[in-house]
């Protein structure tokens, strides 16, 4: 792979990267299935929010993505939630798993499908920077107040399922 190809991968993955939140309540058995460096694929669309508050659940997926679509701009009733959506069939690399007491954060980097092999075999200082920022973010927010609208049953239902696996714990890839 030449320098130009690597630059292209980095531009498509990291340019415009933002952090998004998806909190849910999962069994420890499911949480323990995730491993740093693992590549997962989510079959369905992934709902998340750009609103980051404290955790009212035991798990936060912190998703680093340059490709999340702001649904709130298109569907006004979703503006309250700060809803963003990632495409179905999205691939993610598990960058980090952080646990503070009974709360866990799984940091996921959305990666283009054609870069899966590259990210399985390589890491970068950009990934390390994202991990550091995610740790600071989690430590700052883990015990702060939750955002009230993200406690609504409608939102909790949208974000209840694990990412990259069935609700019985079978990974999709």
Going from N- to C-terminal start, the domains of the chain cover 3-158
Q: Which residues contact 45 (CB under 8 A, 6 or more apart)?
A: 85, 86, 87, 88
Average pLDDT per consecutive 10 residues, the chain (173 residues; last block may be shorter): 93 97 97 98 96 95 97 85 96 97 96 97 96 96 93 95 95 92
Predicted confidence at residue 150, as pLDDT, reads: 95
Predicted confidence at residue 59, as pLDDT, reads: 98
Q: Is 159 left (phi over 0), alpha (psi -120 to 50) or beta?
A: alpha
- Encoded tokens for 158: 């949208």
What Rg, from alpha-carbon coordinates, does the chain have?
Answer: 16
Exposed / middle / buried, residue 90 (Cβ in 10 Å: 0-12, 13-18, 19+)? buried
Q: What is the CATH number of domain 3-158?
A: 3.90.176
- Encoded tokens for 145: 């107040």
């Amino acid at each position: 792979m030449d320098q130009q190809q690597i630059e292209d991968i980095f531009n498509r993955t990291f340019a415009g990267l933002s952090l998004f939140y998806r909190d849910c309540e999962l069994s420890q058995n499911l949480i323990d299935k995730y491993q740093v460096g693992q590549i997962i694929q989510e079959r369905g669309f992934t709902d998340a929010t750009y609103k980051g508050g404290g955790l009212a659940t035991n798990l936060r997926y912190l998703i680093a993505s340059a490709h999340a679509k702001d649904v709130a701009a298109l569907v006004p009733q979703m503006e309250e939630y700060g809803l963003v959506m990632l495409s179905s069939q999205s691939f993610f690399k598990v960058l980090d798993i952080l646990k503070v007491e009974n709360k866990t954060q799984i940091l996921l980097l959305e990666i283009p499908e054609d870069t899966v092999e590259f990210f399985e075999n390589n890491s970068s200082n950009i990934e390390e920077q994202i991990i550091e920022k995610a740790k600071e973010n989690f430590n700052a927010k883990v015990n702060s107040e939750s955002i009230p609208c993200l406690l609504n049953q409608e939102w909790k239902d949208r974000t209840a399922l694990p990412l990259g696996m069935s609700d019985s714990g079978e990974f999709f890839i």
